[in-house]
Amino acid sequence: MTTFKEIRGTDILALSSDPSNPEIGQIWYNSSSGTLKGYKAVNAWASGGNLNTARAQLRGAGSSKSNALVFGGTTGAPVILTASESYNGTAWTNTPSMNTAKMGFAGCGNTQTAALAFGGITDPYVNVTAASESWNGTSWTNTPSLNTAKRNIDGFGTNTAAIVTGGSQAPGAQLFATESWNGSTWTNIPATIPVSNAQCSFGTQTAAIMAGAGPASNQTLSFNGSAWTTSPALLNTARNGAAPAGTQTAGLIAAGNPNTTATESWNGTSWTSLTNVATARRELGGNGIQTSSIIAGGTPTSGYSSATEVWTGLGTQTLTVS
């Protein structure tokens, strides 16, 4: 009979508590509870309530699949949106709109009531902006602008501690600079990034991961608050414009360009392929944590999507000891 060690290359560990960052397929004995436990993908993607406005190039904020916000985007040239919507786990509700219509912009925020939107393209569809604004759960308020107007950018963090990086000012005019937001001003920091647009990032202002870039890439970068470092870990599916969720040691990305259904989790070291989303799409919005996240909108094979999918994610499951 094949042993667990022969399959996994290691013995089953006896631990006093569950590991904080287990790998998929890992099994351990919890000596405190007297149970054998393992880490596996539980549940999958499920359909949620549709957006009120189908759109692409939107951005999102939130803490879970039942606490989410999306804003901005486009329904096709020349329409660019200010529309903002909140999600309660069942349905989307229109909220007060942003002050500036945006697409190809960046957004971030770790709750439904605190978000930031910055940069991007505004009417008449070609103007690049440095405008930044903050959401407090009730209204959007203009905040000091980025130092450099840019589009096709990426951002992460919170509405008081954020990062924006990459992008361009015009086709072919790529940017590699990084700016930091402290809640009152944007500051250029000496942290150039080797990719310039449509990347997907998650984490905090001082600990983040970037995955993929345009054109489709499987590259992974880490950020420590002052510099970007190339990781040897590669995405299983090369892409850009995916939907992100999570932290530097527990992340998730889904879908992306070229249109894909691929979902992958990040454990701080490597990427693992998980259950696919139902509909392949790119330029979608996403937010949440690795175990409870949401994706919405985007561009499928044709048109613009209003579809929402929710993820219950990865979790521990107690195994029966025979």
- Which position has the higher pLDDT, 52 or 125? 52
Contact 203, 225 (CB under 8 A): no
pLDDT value for 11: 76
Instruction: Estimate to the nearest angstrom the gap between the alpha carbon of 128 and the chain centroid.
Output: 23
**Predicted pLDDT of residue 321:** 52
Residues whose CB falls within 8 Å of the CB of residue 302, separated by 6 or more in sequence, listed in order: none
pLDDT single digits (tens) 80-89: 999 999 999 9
Which residue has 């000012």 as its token pair? 169
Q: Where are the domains of the chain?
A: 4-41, 45-313
State the pTM of this model: 0.85
For the chain, how far is it from start to end, CA to CA, in angstroms?
Answer: 15
Count Cα neighbours of 66 within 13 Å in the Cβ-side half-sphere: 3
Residue 38 confidence (pLDDT): 81
116 CB-contact burial (10 Å; exposed 0-12 / middle 13-18 / buried 19+): buried
Of 172, 51, 72, 208, the residue nearest 132 (C-alpha): 72
- pLDDT the model gives residue 257: 94
Asked if residue 19 has a cis previous peptide bond (ω within 30° of 0), the answer is no
Q: What pLDDT, on a 0 to 100 scale, did the predictor assign at position 268?
A: 96
List, for residues 124-178, the tens digit of each pLDDT value: 767 899 999 999 999 999 999 999 999 999 999 999 999 999 888 877 788 889 9
In angstroms, the Cα distances linking 111 to 65, 88, 142 are 11, 12, 19
Q: Is the pLDDT of residue 7 over 60?
A: no
Across 278-305, average pLDDT: 95
- Please report how many Cα atoms fall inside a 13 Å half-sphere around the Cα of residue 243, on the Cβ side: 39
- What is the C-alpha radius of gyration for the chain, rounded to an integer number of angstroms? 20
pLDDT tens string 234-247: 999 999 999 999 99
The mean pLDDT value for 183-194 works out to: 94
Lowest mean pLDDT among 107-111, 172-176, 205-209, 282-286: 172-176
Q: Where would I find the beta strands (DSSP E) of 53-139?
A: 59-64, 67-71, 74-76, 79-80, 84-87, 92-95, 106-111, 114-118, 121-122, 127-128, 132-135
48 has pLDDT over 90: yes
- The mean-pLDDT minimum among 9-18, 146-155, 272-281, 291-300 falls in 9-18
Alpha helices (H) in the chain, listed in sequence order:
4-8
pLDDT of 322: 47
What pLDDT does 1 receive? 60
Coil, helix or strand at residue 6:
helix
25 — pLDDT class (breaks 50, 70, 90): confident
The two structure tokens encoding residue 279: 């509909």
Average pLDDT over residues 182-198: 89
Average pLDDT value for residue range 238-257: 95
Question: Rounded CA gap, 189 and 173, in Å?
Answer: 20
Mean pLDDT value across residues 252-273: 96
CATH architecture of the domain covering 45-313: 6 Propeller (2.120)
